[in-house]
Structure 1
Amino acid sequence: MRVNSGAGPDTGWSFTNDARRVQIVAAAIETVAELGYAKASFAQIAKRAKISSVRLISYHFADKADLFQALVDTVQEQARTAIQPQVRAHHEPAAMLAAYIEANLAFLAEHPVEVRALVDVLANARREDGGPLVGTAGFDTPVALLVQHLRDGQRSGAFRSFDAEAMATAIRASIDAAANRLAAGDDFDPLAYGRELVTLFDLATRNGGTA
């Protein structure tokens, strides 16, 4: 994203276009959450964005893949911005792991519309050849980060000996299962679910505990 610090027409143009892109992405999130990816046409998105023509969407985004990649990137960046400070507020491995789990579930609870849109796009947005329309290559891989954290905890003696990749995959899968349940409209308490996960993975990872 280009940001200009000086005055003049170029500054106004950049900020106006950035604001319009944000508006369109927000409308795309609402549209997918309400109608599903398959019915999220540019016309429906333009209606929710309160813009006069779908051509304005095409002006700001090269194609459907570009728009929905921006949707995925936006929600993932929102999640990362919400979660990382809560994890970094702790220094002891078990507390950091608990904060990671609880912050993930809190984000799901507080952003159900964004979660539904993200899950739907990642599950259903496909190119003509069947490949995914969007990707997450621009973001840190959650499982890889968890693996590193778990291994650091093992080296410090806070965590017992176990297969860090298997444990990280289990943690991430448990969090993703909650996102899928919310996206499907299940009636459950994400925060209570998160507390149960904290207890489960504390017992599974702690040095001297039982798995």
Structure 2
Amino acid sequence: MGSETGTADRKRRSFIEEARREQIMTAAAEVAAEVGYASTSFSRIAEKAGISKSVITYHFSGKDEILRLVTARLFERVWQHMEARIEAETTAAGQVRAWIGAQLEFFGAHRTEFLAMSEIVAGHRDPDGTPAYAADLAEEVDALAEILARGQRDGEFREFDPRGVANIILRSTDGVLASWAYDDGVDLPGQTTVLLDFIDHAIGGRR
């Protein structure tokens, strides 16, 4: 009996700790979105979450750990949203459109998360000064470039440098999201339509 109670208590503590970590990461994302990466601090996160700084230091070693986890979680969530849409398409042109459309759709419903991710990705650097997410961004470019190269092999797209064009497409998507995130007057669905039409004409994709 005692052993079973102890196990239950440990599970309960684990659940509470996980919920607290989630609360702290959510608050950290909101703070980063509001004041930027550089101004995000334990004090501001604690105030946003309605807890003491000591509670944060119990769960996390520092600001960098929290913000890395925030970004990793967002990367995972947006990719899960995009992956099903991409895999449902049978052509490279369809997959490119699904990639961009699903990404814009996800962040359209998660403005705070997009602002937080943008601030963290732009501001976070490794100890040697290099951008902390350079490898992740390069991996994203490579994955889209593979789809573009397949479309060229299958005769869907004209000739161009797949990786260079993949980078342009992704940075254009970032630009549309940034203009919307910082300006409530921007019509994101409308801009999504414009961007997809532009990409179709640029790469020669068939509708």
Relative to the length of structure 2, the TM-score reads 0.85
Distance 2:126 2:15 in 1: 32
Q: Which runs of 4+ in 1 moved over 6 A?
A: none
Mapping for residues 43-58 of structure 1, pairs under 5 Å: 43-51=43-51, 53-58=52-57
Q: For 1:91-130, what aligned pairs fall within 5 Å after superposition?
A: 91-126=90-125, 130=129
Task: Assess if the C-alpha contact under 8 Å between 1:116 and 1:182 holds in 2.
Answer: no
CA distance in 1, matches of 2:25, 2:180: 21
CA displacement at 1:137 relative to structure 2: 4.7
1:138 and 1:60 map into 2 onto residues whose CA distance is 26
Deviation of 1:67 (Å): 0.8
Return closer, same or farther for 1:79/1:59 CA change in 2, 3 Å cut-off.
same
Partner AA of 1:170 in structure 2: I
Provide, for residues 185-208 of structure 1, a one-character-per-residue CA deviation record: whole Å limited to 9, x for no partner.
463122211111211111222369
User: Aligned-pair distance for 1:14?
Assistant: 2.3
Match among 144, 147, 158 for residue 146 of structure 1: 144
RMSD: 2.5
Structure 2 CA distance for aligned equivalents of residues 84 and 74 of structure 1: 15
Separation of aligned partners in 1, 2:9 and 2:136: 31
Amino acid at match of 1:55: S
Which residue in 2 is equivalent to 1:3?
none
The residue type equivalent to 1:91 in the other structure is T
Q: For the structure 1 residues 23 and 69, does the alpha-carbon distance in structure 2 shift closer, same or farther, using more than 3 Å as the test?
A: same
The alignment status of 1:81 with 2:80, answered yes or no, reads yes
Query: Given the alignment, which residue of 175, 180, 187 partners 2:173?
Result: 175
The alpha carbon displacement at 1:105 in A equals 1.3
Please list the CA deviations of residues 113-133 of structure 1 after superposition, one character each: whole Å capped at 9, or x if unmatched: 11111111222335676444x
Q: Which residue of 2 aligns with 1:42?
A: 42
Shift of 1:42: 1.0
Partner of 2:200: 202
CA distance in 2, matches of 1:154, 1:173: 21
Conserved? CA contact 1:115–1:182, under 8 Å: no
In structure 2, which of residues 150, 154, 157 is the aligned counterpart of residue 156 of structure 1?
154
Q: Which amino acid aligns with 2:148?
A: L
Conserved? CA contact 1:68–1:121, under 8 Å: yes
Q: Distance between the aligned counterparts of 1:208 and 1:125, measured in 2? A: 39
Percent sequence identity over aligned pairs: 32
**C-alpha distance in 1, partners of 2:152/2:159?**
6
Q: Are the counterparts in 2 of residues 143 and 172 from structure 1 also a CA contact under 8 Å?
A: yes
Pair 1:122–1:139, CA change in 2 (3 A): closer
Give, as a single letter, the amino acid of the residue that structure 2 aligns with 1:104.
Q
Partner of 1:4: none
- Asked if the contact 2:152–2:159 (Cα under 8 Å) also holds between the matched residues in 1, the reply is yes
Cα distance in 2 for residues equivalent to 1:187 and 1:208: 31
Question: Going by fraction, where is helix more abundant, 1 or 2?
Answer: 2
